Structure 1
Amino acid sequence: MKCSVTFRHMKPSDAVRQYAEERVDKVTRLIDREVEAQVILSLESHLHVAHIELVTDGSLRIRGLDKSSDMYASIDSAVDRILRQVKRYRSKIRNHRESGANGRELPHRVFSVDELEPETKTPQIVRQETVIARSMTVDDAVMQMDLMDTDFLVFTNAESQQVNVVYRLPDGQYGLIEAHAPRERHRSIRAVRETGRQSLGSLAAKGVSSGRCASRTSWPKNG
């Protein structure tokens, strides 16, 4: 295991560094594959923040973050978060293999309302990040989102090669957004319509009367 410990806005401590490395090492042994660990320990508004991220040789990222009044406690809580996810997906993590290419780079923008101009309701761009939409299955995307302890994940669907977003719902279930280019959608609609005309023509040729019909695709309800 490769482990780097970085201190920010606080004085480095060999004792804290060793403690973090020992705690992380116990978790990586459960994964049973090559892992690189990055630990960032910082002081923010009198709170000790521990941010731990593990990256496996299959490009899975496992993240734990916690803050408290004590750095040792923050490290423990962050490691415990990772440990729970590792135990939950232990077999999948061991057998996971990265699928397809490395993924696409997509811009990610964060908006904020300018408080200095209350009459203006239009949000302003305050930060822009690049998101790597890695190629993976929907199931792997859900697992990766859980392992990163986040509420959404942008990825490239390994089956459709389209950019998708999986996200967490308030009730604990998951949602999936599938993005399609307008032209592709129009081509799909035309193809469906043409298929429908051919089917109706075939029925008419057989002397079968067809009434007005409607097709609807609905999402299965959660629960």
Structure 2
Amino acid sequence: MNLKISGHHLEVTPALREYVITKLDRVLRHFDQVIDGNVVLSVDNYKEKDKRQKVEVSLHLKGKDIFVESANGDMYAAIDLLVDKLDRQVVRHKDRLQGHQHDALKYQEAAPAAEAPPQ
């Protein structure tokens, strides 16, 4: 998987980068057909005391693009919330791909053939 991690009004430290990578490994454990991903870590300063840490992820999967965002006062907590949301969406997408709502034709009962009129 190609993963791009960037920061907006924030310097992405090696520890933060490693934390994001280890958390996203959980998603890859459930679904290995992830093509690439883009992670944006940002800080919004509303006031000096109110800093909101925000994380956005855009994943390009085989057959679908998934976008998830999360915000919290702590960056690590925001990443944890984001990975939980992302994991639920990826597992739901995988279930839809592998859904077996219909039985195979060979296991369905054949409809009784209409009797031919006598000749």
Q: TM-score, normalised by structure 1?
A: 0.39
Deviation readout 1:93-149 (Å, 9 max, x if unpaired): 468xxxxxxxxxxxxxxxxxxxxxxxxxxxxxxxxxxxxxxxxxxxxxxxxxxxxxx
* 1:25 to 1:53, Cα distance in 2 relative to 1, 3 A: same
The correspondence for 1:79, drawn from 75, 83, 86, is 83
Q: Which amino acid aligns with 1:15?
A: A
* 1:88 to 1:34, Cα distance in 2 relative to 1, 3 A: closer
Instruction: Give the corresponding residue for 1:61.
Output: 65
The alignment-based identity, stated in percent, is 29
Q: How does 1:184-223 map to 2 (within 5 A)?
A: none
Q: Which amino acid aligns with 2:85?
A: R
Q: Which amino acid aligns with 1:5?
A: I
- Return the alpha-carbon distance in structure 2 between the equivalents of residues 34 and 80 of structure 1: 17
Tell me how far 1:84 sits from its aligned partner: 1.3
- The size of the alignment, in residue pairs, is 94
Matched, 1:2 2:6: no
Which structure's relative contact order is higher, taking Cα pairs within 8 Å and 6+ residues apart? 2
* 1:12 to 1:64, Cα distance in 2 relative to 1, 3 A: same
Structure 1 runs not aligned, ≥5 long: 96-223
Instruction: Give the corresponding residue for 1:13.
Output: 13
Matched, 1:39 2:39: yes
The correspondence for 2:95, drawn from 91, 94, 100, is 91
* 1:34 to 1:85, Cα distance in 2 relative to 1, 3 A: closer
Tell me how far 1:31 sits from its aligned partner: 1.4
Preserved CA contact (<8 Å) 1:31 1:94: no
Q: TM-score, normalised by structure 2?
A: 0.71
* 1:94 to 1:48, Cα distance in 2 relative to 1, 3 A: farther
Tell me how far 1:13 sits from its aligned partner: 0.8
Q: Which amino acid aligns with 2:25?
A: D
Q: Which amino acid aligns with 2:57?
A: I
Tell me how far 1:53 sits from its aligned partner: 1.3
Which one has a bigger Cα radius of gyration?
1
* 1:17 to 1:93, Cα distance in 2 relative to 1, 3 A: farther
Preserved CA contact (<8 Å) 2:31 2:90: yes
Preserved CA contact (<8 Å) 2:26 2:87: no
